[in-house]
């Protein structure tokens, strides 16, 4: 019962940059940003997102992978379902905020050199 209650609390957390998570540059690589989780069960865990894909056939479906850069919990892995849910919730908030602020690129990435921006008309 406690596990179920904890799951519901974490899933219901409203994420906000610089409150529940913080964007930080990756150590030794200025091409990547990491996310430090500031509140909740995974406090002080730092993750880095890898590939992110949107399902073109089914609206509202996104897949992604991520890596744990650091964590105070030596037993934590990317296979932890609860961490996957938190990482997904935070990623959705980051994407939503970048669209709202017009501060990011959302598009298809056909190769390493060219972005194909998506517009609301597509």
* 17/109 Cα distance (integer angstroms): 26
**Is residue 71 in some structural domain?**
yes
**Is residue 60 in some structural domain?**
yes
- Segment 6-43, tens digit of pLDDT: 555 545 688 899 999 999 998 887 777 899 999 998 99
**Is residue 109 in some structural domain?**
yes
Domain that holds residue 66: 2-117
Task: Report yes or no on whether pTM surpasses 0.85.
Answer: no
Following DSSP, what letter does each residue of 4-64 receive, concatenated?
Answer: HHHHHHHHH----BTTTEEEEEETTEEEEEEEEE-SSTTTT-EEEEEEEEE-SSSTT-EEE
**Is residue 122 in some structural domain?**
no
pLDDT of residue 122: 41
**Is residue 14 in some structural domain?**
yes
* 91/88 Cα distance (integer angstroms): 5
Share of the chain above pLDDT 90, in %: 41
Number of domains in the chain: 1
**Is residue 96 in some structural domain?**
yes
């Amino acid at each position: 019962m406690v596990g179920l209650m904890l799951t519901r609390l974490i899933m219901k957390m409203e994420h906000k940059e610089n409150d529940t998570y913080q964007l930080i540059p990756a150590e030794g690589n200025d091409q990547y940003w990491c996310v430090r989780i500031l509140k909740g069960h995974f406090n002080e865990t730092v993750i880095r997102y890898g590939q992110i894909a949107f399902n073109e056939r089914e609206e509202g479906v996104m897949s992604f992978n991520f890596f744990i850069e650091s964590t105070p919990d030596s037993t934590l892995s990317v296979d932890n379902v609860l961490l996957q849910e938190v990482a997904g919730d935070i990623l959705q908030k980051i994407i939503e905020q970048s669209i709202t602020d017009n501060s990011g690129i959302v598009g298809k990435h056909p190769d390493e050199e060219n972005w194909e921006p998506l517009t609301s008309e597509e």
